[in-house]
Amino acid sequence: MLKRCLFISGCFDSDSPKYATDYAANKVSELMIKGLSAACGGKLHVINVVPVLPWPRKKAPLLIKKSSLEKYGNKIDNITFLNIIGLKQISIERNLLKSIKKMGPFEEGDWILCYGLSLPRLRAMAYIKRRYPIKVCFIVPDLPLPEYMNADGGKIYKFAKNIDIRIQRKYYSDVDKWVYFSKYMNEYFENKDNKWIVMEGVSQIPEFEREPESKPNKIHGNTVLYVGGIAEGYGVCDLVDEFTNINDDYTLQIIGDGPAVPYIKEASAKDSRIQYLGKMANKLAYKYQIEAAVLINPRPPKDFTKYSFPSKTIEYMSTGNPVLMQKLQGVPEEYNQYINYYSSGELQLALDKIFRDYYHYKNIALSGKKFVVENKNCEAQMKRVVDFLEGNI
């Protein structure tokens, strides 16, 4: 029986901090807090590590101060830490550990549920686990490999990250249970079946709606939208290159941030159909998704992509608009009937097919929306996680 759940999250304390990073993780963290609030009731406590870029990038602060906020009826305690490269990870580990200790004393039936795999989190959890009668579960959206953490990272980054991975492995044995976003992740962790389950992500009930239509309306036109990281490894540059060769009246909108932004801006300067809208808060980005005609994920199907489930898949499907993406192994077969797939070099064929019979594909998308809202909503998903912790599944 679960007596108490301490959730380690990673969400922002404001809608659009200029120095914030990883909007996808922020959104998932918030939805998980919402779902856990329903599943755990008064048994939930939340400690938050604000995901920010290290100083001096984007004028980020040197110190993230301790603070509290409230989400979904729960008090969330933001830990303090030095936000300086070389000291940031050490500071996060130390202050995370202090915050966890203050939640004690711990006893049998208490769980720490941690979103995101990182060395500071692992070391802090291992310290607590070895000293108190508490169990630990990690929710892993991506493997801690360079190609996931920074698709366009250089040689120095990859070298440092591989050292970090070797150290991380020393603490895996301290983790009692795992929640993966792809079943193939267990090829990396090699856990027994009773130690892990798969949860691709969490959906939200859309705040804004748009009725099905026989073709895109005059306001939204033939708009194709991408929201996410702007990196070559995510296929965004390939998308832009292929789009420039399309001979039709489509508009490509791109929202996000990353190392390939200059490439996107250069392409948009040459082709007025390409619009880079910048980085924006989740709520505003979601409104653009609702208003788009087609939502696209150009991530190419490389070998390592089977170890992840793109969070934007569920987010896109929640809008009820047609989703177009390349086929990735990490996306379970149950999603296939709701998603439109294309291969590199066939973008125009795929778009023409959707827009020729937009009402048909819109209705498929609405069925997909019903599927994720009913089966992958945050309350249902986090209830399943809690059942897993209690040994009921």
Taking alpha carbons only, the member of 104, 117, 96, 97 closest to residue 50 is: 96
Q: Tell me if 208 is assigned to some domain.
A: no
pLDDT tens, the chain, 393 aa long: 788 999 999 887 654 456 666 667 778 888 999 999 999 877 899 999 988 888 887 678 889 999 888 878 888 899 999 999 889 999 999 999 999 999 888 989 999 999 999 999 999 999 999 999 999 999 999 888 766 555 556 677 677 777 888 889 999 999 999 999 999 999 999 999 889 999 988 887 655 554 444 444 444 569 999 999 898 889 999 999 999 999 778 999 999 988 999 999 999 999 999 999 998 877 888 889 999 999 999 999 887 788 889 888 999 999 999 999 999 999 999 999 999 999 999 999 999 999 999 999 999 999 999 999 999 999 999 999 999 999 887
Over the range 363-380, which residues count as b (16 or more CB within 10 Å of their CB) and which as e? ebbbebbebbbeebbbbb
- Asked if residue 207 belongs to a domain, the reply is no
The neighbouring-strand residues paired with 196 are 178
Q: Does residue 211 fall inside a structural domain? A: no
The CATH number covering residue 48 comes to: 3.40.50.2000
Judge if 96 and 144 occupy the same domain: yes
In a domain, 217, yes or no: no
Bond preceding residue 56 cis, omega within 30 of 0: yes
Please tell me whether residues 144 and 249 are part of one structural domain: no
Residues 317-329 as b/e (b if ≥16 CB within 10 A, e otherwise) read bbbbbbbbbbebb
Residues 361 and 381 in one domain: no
User: What is the DSSP code (8-state) at residue 53?
Assistant: P
Which residue's entry shows tokens 């066939």?
346
Q: 162 with 250, same domain?
A: no
Residue 214 lies in a domain: no
Distance of alpha carbon 229 from alpha carbon 23, whole angstroms: 9
* pLDDT, position 149: 53
- The verdict on 356 and 383 lying in the same domain is no
β-strand partners of 341: 325
180 in a structural domain = yes
Long-range contacts of 124-129, Cβ-Cβ distance < 8 Å, separation of 24 or more: 124/93, 124/96, 124/97, 124/100, 125/171, 125/174, 125/175, 126/171, 126/174, 127/97, 128/97, 128/100, 128/101, 129/174, 129/176
Whether 157 and 12 share a structural domain: yes
Cα-based distances in Å from 340 to 32, 324, 337, 375: 28, 5, 8, 20
Closest by Cα among 199, 161, 162 to 177: 199
Crossing angle of helices 23-40 and 282-291, rounded to 10°? 100
Same domain, 385 and 365: no
Do 42 and 185 have their domain in common? yes
Is 73 inside any structural domain? yes
Structural domains counted in the chain: 2
Domain span at residue 83 reads 4-202+377-389
pLDDT at site 16: 46
Q: What is the pLDDT of residue 70?
A: 81
Say whether both 124 and 245 belong to one domain.
no
If asked whether residues 167 and 286 sit together in one domain, one would say no
Tell me, yes or no, whether 381 and 336 share the same domain: no
Residue 242 near residue 300, CB atoms below 8 Å: no
Residue 26, pLDDT score: 79
Q: Are 125 and 103 in contact (CB under 8 A)?
A: no
Q: What is the pTM of this model?
A: 0.87
DSSP state letters, 23-49: HHHHHHHHHHHHHHHHHHGGGEEEEE-
pLDDT at 388: 96
In a domain, 209, yes or no: no
Same domain? 188 vs 267? no
Q: Compute the distance between CA of residue 171 and CA of residue 127 in angstroms, rounded to an integer.
A: 10
> For position 280, what pLDDT does the model report?
84
